[in-house]
Amino acid sequence: MKFWNKSLEVRRRCWIRIELPPFPAITYFQWDGLIQEQKRWCQHYPSTGRFWVDSHYVEVSTWWFERPADATAFVLRWR
């Protein structure tokens, strides 16, 4: 998949949104490492779709996927 940071309006209208809950007992560095690992996984996932992540420490990580199959694979791997 490709990382895509273009139009919030398009994401809200057409893409699949997934929220991952916060991880209460980890440090910022562990959390940041996890987000980076998830991004690498998405970038290496064999799909022509696109994704976007909006994440803030100790808050919910919101992932957006252009294709439902990519969103399903992400949930199965990371949730």
Residue whose C-alpha is closest to residue 21's, from 58, 48, 72: 58
| pTM assigned to the model | 0.86
* Burial grade of 40 (CB within 10 A; 0-12, 13-18, 19 or more): exposed
Spell out the domain ranges in the chain: 15-78
Say which residues have a Cβ less than 8 Å from residue 60's Cβ, sequence separation at least 6: 19, 20, 21, 22
pLDDT per residue as tens digits for the range 42-73: 999 999 999 999 876 656 789 999 999 999 99
pLDDT per residue as tens digits for the range 31-47: 888 889 999 999 999 99
Residues 14-27, mean pLDDT to the nearest whole number? 84
Higher per-residue confidence, 66 vs 5: 66
For residues 20 and 61, the answer to whether their CB atoms sit within 8 Å is: yes
